[in-house]
């Protein structure tokens, strides 16, 4: 399955349990009725949260250091017109298997997503991929994908990391505190947006418990050219510091033959900042 031996993202069993306990507590406090299950896949156990009913299913693949447990508002917005399934990425903090390969990760994730869709979706699905999740959606060639909504996606272009983000990231990784997590998260959000307390708590825990992964490179152009048969939509925030509109507009049109939609009051965390607006865009493909 992998191109190199898999390694746990967690610093130890105690830290892994802390992350899992946090996600369970967060899900226990959801007011949105939902179901939880662990699905065996080729990348290990995959935890999924499902809600709503109807077809097609919208499958949400979160980004780096994100978890389904954080996405209640977005899930609620999506269930207004159908069913939604949110998956914790294996090899990212959450309730799925904690191991990921050292190399060949995007092809590994592409095979994982195809397997997950085969096991959980009765027909076809709209896949919403955020950041790393966008690259995973692009890497997957499953015929079950009827459409892709790529939100601030990695995989189209290399990630842009500003000096300001680097200055905040290194202290956060070395010795995370709520203040350092808040300072970092402000770079992820639109001006004037304060990170929610649960997001600050989560990022502090993740830095202390996990070995964070780097952003993936752009996918090969010949692979991206094969992703024009299903419906597609590329979305980013006006204030996204990693994948700003001016960097995504050209490759979205030239490589994917897709228009770029811009969320005017969002940064990189559009699923958190503008769940209703983003869900409305997703529903244009359903």
Helix (H) or strand (E) holding 227: none
Q: Is residue 256 part of a domain?
A: yes
Domain count, the chain: 1
User: How many Å apart are CA 179 and CA 204, to the nearest integer?
Assistant: 9
Q: What pLDDT shows up at residue 60? A: 98
Q: Is residue 207 part of a domain?
A: no
Checking if the pLDDT of 1 tops 50, the result is: no
Would you say the pTM of this structure is higher than 0.85?
A: yes
Expressed as residue numbers, the domain containing 50 is: 6-160+214-283
Q: Is residue 172 part of a domain?
A: no
Structure tokens at 248: 């995504």
Q: Is residue 181 part of a domain?
A: no
Q: Is residue 201 part of a domain?
A: no
Q: Is residue 174 part of a domain?
A: no
C-alpha closest to that of 266 among 233, 234, 244: 244
Q: Is residue 252 part of a domain?
A: yes
Q: What pLDDT shows up at residue 102? A: 81
Checking if the pLDDT of 235 tops 70, the result is: yes
Q: pLDDT, tens digit, for every residue of 2-56?
A: 445 578 999 999 999 999 999 999 999 999 999 999 999 999 999 999 999 988 8
Segment 52-71 mean pLDDT: 95
User: How many Å apart are CA 119 and CA 115, to the nearest integer?
Assistant: 6
User: How many Å apart are CA 82 and CA 97, to the nearest integer?
Assistant: 28
Q: pLDDT, tens digit, for every residue of 84-137?
A: 999 999 999 999 999 998 889 999 999 999 999 999 998 999 999 999 999 999
The CATH number given to whatever domain includes residue 269 is 3.40.50.1820
User: How many Å apart are CA 223 and CA 216, to the nearest integer?
Assistant: 15
Q: Is residue 15 part of a domain?
A: yes
Supply the mean pLDDT for the chain: 94
């Amino acid at each position: 399955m992998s191109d190199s031996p898999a390694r746990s993202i967690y610093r130890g069993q105690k830290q892994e349990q802390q992350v899992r306990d946090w996600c369970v507590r967060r899900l226990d406090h959801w007011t949105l009725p939902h179901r939880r299950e662990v699905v065996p896949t080729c990348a290990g156990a995959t935890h999924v949260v499902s809600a709503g009913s109807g077809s097609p299913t919208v499958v949400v693949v979160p980004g780096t250091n994100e978890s389904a447990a954080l996405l209640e508002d977005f899930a609620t917005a999506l269930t207004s017109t159908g069913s939604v399934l949110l998956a914790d990425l294996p090899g990212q903090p959450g309730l799925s298997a904690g191991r990921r390969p050292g190399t060949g990760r995007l092809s590994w994730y592409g095979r994982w997503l195809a397997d997950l869709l085969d096991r959980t979706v009765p027909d076809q699905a709209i896949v919403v991929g955020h950041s790393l999740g966008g690259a995973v959606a692009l890497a997957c060639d499953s015929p079950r994908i009827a459409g892709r909504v790529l939100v601030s996606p990695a995989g189209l272009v290399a990630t842009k990391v500003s000096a300001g983000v680097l200055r905040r990231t290194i202290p956060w990784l070395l010795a995370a505190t709520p203040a350092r997590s808040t300072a970092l998260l402000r770079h992820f959000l639109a001006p004037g947006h304060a990170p929610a307390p649960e997001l600050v708590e989560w990022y502090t825990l993740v830095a202390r418990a996990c070995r964070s992964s780097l952003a993936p490179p752009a996918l090969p152009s010949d692979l991206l050219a094969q992703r024009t048969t299903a419906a597609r939509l590329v979305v980013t925030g006006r204030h996204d510091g990693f994948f700003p509109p001016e960097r995504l507009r050209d490759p979205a049109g030239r490589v994917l033959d897709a228009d770029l939609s811009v969320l005017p009051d969002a940064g990189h965390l559009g699923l958190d900042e503008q769940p209703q607006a983003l869900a409305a865009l997703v529903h244009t493909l359903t």
